[in-house]
Amino acid sequence: MDQLSAMSVFRRVVEAGSYSGAARALNISVASASKQVAALEERLGARLLHRTTRRLALTEAGREYYARCGRILDEVAEAEARVAEREAAVRGNLRVTAPFSFGLLHMSAPLTAYARAWPDVRVELLLNDRMVDLVEEGFDVALRMTAHPADTSLVAVKLARARRVLCAAPGYLKREGRPRRPADLAKHRCLINPGTFSPTTWLLRGPEGPLAVEVRATLSVNSSLSLRDAALAELGLVLMPEFVVAEELRDGRLEALLTTYEPEPLHIYALHPHGRFVPRRVRLFVDTLRAHFSGAAWRAR
């Protein structure tokens, strides 16, 4: 008995719900399908399926074996596919989505490196602050900034930590005063991004531990770049990723506030759909992102 073949037939029988359905899918006879499952049961010394005139049902042993042999067959299929693909050229389409501001500021370098290394891949990057559905909309990879990825149906690869900073323009601080403690934030005009989680609750960690501060939103824009410009125009305080305002903080056009309190950081993830086998062009792109954002080349890290 070819055990892997018999395991494959058993899984198809379970998924099809019948020997005839499995036989059609595998292009074998019903008798052959039944014989292979029977041989598997004999080898294991356990009944895997209850057979009735109307349907098949897994036994307790069958349920456990089905789950385990499924994982084994998937591992074998992936191992074979990886070896076969290793010698194949990297080509095809790669669709990527990233937040608008982050994409403008930081995606050019890794995209250029990838395109030079794999010129036969057609790369499409869509910058969008909307939460896209990767599977429904046909994307291979999504870049997201979040404290924790919420979608457990996707593979999440952490690329980097994105520190956040609370800041304002010197002119605003001269006019409205400088907050000295977190409670003072409630008195100030605050600029928020409605696309973030709980945008009017700013999470800080200081000497007394974590704090959740409710703020008054006087301007709401779903673009970090627009919020940066609003802060530069002295419209209020803003809490945003440091990489968006690093230059403005260095040259003094914006000033960091409450520096003894650390805002909750974000993490940058590359997400891609689960699957028995991730295409090599996707794996290589994620590797390129990881190399770029984990290295010294990304100064805002």
Q: Is the pLDDT of residue 297 over 50?
A: no
Quickly state the pLDDT bin for 53 (edges 50, 70, 90): low
Evaluate whether residue 81 is within a structural domain.
yes
How far is it, in rounded angstroms, from Cα 147 to Cα 210?
Answer: 15
CATH assignment of the domain containing 31: 1.10.10.10
**Mean pLDDT along residues 139-161:** 82
**151, 283: one domain:** yes
Give the per-residue pLDDT at 252: 95
Evaluate whether residue 269 is within a structural domain.
no
Q: Which of 43-52, 102-111, 123-132, 250-259 has the lowest mean pLDDT?
A: 43-52
CATH assignment of the domain containing 170: 3.40.190.10
Evaluate whether residue 96 is within a structural domain.
yes
Evaluate whether residue 298 is within a structural domain.
no
How far is it, in rounded angstroms, from Cα 280 to Cα 214?
Answer: 45
**152, 168: one domain:** no
**227, 81: one domain:** no
Closest alpha carbon to 146 in 270, 251, 2? 270
Q: Which of 70-79, 93-102, 261-270 has the lowest mean pLDDT?
A: 70-79
Give the per-residue pLDDT at 220: 93
How far is it, in rounded angstroms, from Cα 207 to Cα 145?
Answer: 26
Quickly state the pLDDT bin for 169 (edges 50, 70, 90): very high
How far is it, in rounded angstroms, from Cα 50 to Cα 241?
Answer: 58
**188, 249: one domain:** yes
HSE toward the beta carbon, residue 66, CA cutoff 13 A: 17
Closest alpha carbon to 236 in 165, 163, 173? 173
Domain of residue 217, residue span: 164-264
Q: Is the pLDDT of residue 300 over 50?
A: no
**105, 150: one domain:** yes
Token pair in block for residue 248: 């403005």
Q: Is the pLDDT of residue 211 over 50?
A: yes
How far is it, in rounded angstroms, from Cα 131 to Cα 259?
Answer: 31
Evaluate whether residue 214 is within a structural domain.
yes
Out of 25-29, 150-154, 237-241, 277-281, give the one with best mean pLDDT: 237-241
* Last residue in a domain, options 86, 118, 137: 86
Dihedral sign from CA coordinates of 40, 42, 43, 44 = positive
Q: Is the pLDDT of residue 54 over 70?
A: no
**147, 289: one domain:** yes
Question: Is residue 179 within 8 Å of 188, Cβ to Cβ?
Answer: yes
* Last residue in a domain, options 55, 86, 117: 86
**14, 154: one domain:** no
Q: Is the pLDDT of residue 296 over 50?
A: no
Evaluate whether residue 20 is within a structural domain.
yes
Evaluate whether residue 300 is within a structural domain.
no
* Last residue in a domain, options 86, 107, 125: 86
Q: Which of 101-115, 141-155, 200-214, 277-291 has the lowest mean pLDDT?
A: 141-155
Q: Is the pLDDT of residue 59 over 90?
A: no
Evaluate whether residue 46 is within a structural domain.
yes
Give the per-residue pLDDT at 88: 61
**41, 174: one domain:** no
Closest alpha carbon to 128 in 100, 94, 95? 100
156 forms beta bridges with 271
**Mean pLDDT along residues 71-84:** 77
Question: Is residue 298 within 8 Å of 108, Cβ to Cβ?
Answer: no
Per the structure, how many domains does the chain have? 3
**101, 78: one domain:** no
**109, 78: one domain:** no
**63, 189: one domain:** no
**154, 171: one domain:** no
